[in-house]
Amino acid sequence: MFLNRIQVKVNFKSRGFIENFMDIAEVSKASGVPASTLRYYEEKGLIQSYGRSGLRRLFHSDVLRSLALISLGRSAGFSLDEIAEMFTPKGPQINREVLLEKANELDRKIKELTSMRNGLRHAAVCSAPSHFECPKFLRLLKISGKSRHRPLNKLTKKPAGKKQKT
């Protein structure tokens, strides 16, 4: 009769294993991102947990770098879907052309906001009897009206926020 012998490792949670992982509360505290947002990011596939410690999700400590990238992307105006495209199984792959497009978009927005700020400052001190008699204020209204259009979603090439017909 052949008997299999199994060697059992009693202390399988080695110190090295624990050092590389953080539970969801630790990740939340270290990143400033609420646990509910971490769970949402995981649901969207932006980050990944690697198990549980009791009822708490465990994340590899590299998740902090991913969260910093997500934060940077959101600050730059990328949608979560656009950011998700940057994450691959091999790690973040950032399309430089998309970065240039976003930088150009930000330049246009900065120019627009600068014009708006200057117009508001003028309107605050304008000597015209009514703002609607001030040419600079009227230009400000025109700029404001133009900015109401929605930019194209980079993924679908359709106006952002609009549902696609199926």
Letter string b/e over residues 7-45, b meaning 16 or more CB atoms within 10 A of that residue's CB: eeeeeeeeeeeeeebbbbeebbeebebeeeebeebbeee
CATH value of 17-92 in 3.40.30.10, 3.40.140.10, 3.40.225.10, 1.10.1660.10: 1.10.1660.10
Closest CA to 26 of 42, 38, 43, 41: 38
pLDDT at 19: 66
Its pTM stands at 0.65
- Parse the chain into domains and list their residue ranges: 17-92, 104-146
pLDDT in tens, 129-157: 888 888 888 877 887 776 555 555 555 55
Provide the pLDDT for residue 116: 82
Q: pLDDT confidence of 13, banded at 50, 70, 90?
A: very low
Q: How confident is the model at residue 16 (pLDDT cuts 50, 70, 90)?
A: very low
User: DSSP assignment, residue 150?
Assistant: P
Quote the CA–CA distance of 162 and 166 in Å, as a whole number.
12
Q: How confident is the model at residue 18 (pLDDT cuts 50, 70, 90)?
A: low
Q: For residue 77, which of 154, 149, 163 has the smallest C-alpha distance?
A: 154
51-99 pLDDT, tens per residue?
A: 887 778 899 888 999 999 999 999 999 999 999 998 888 888 888 999 9
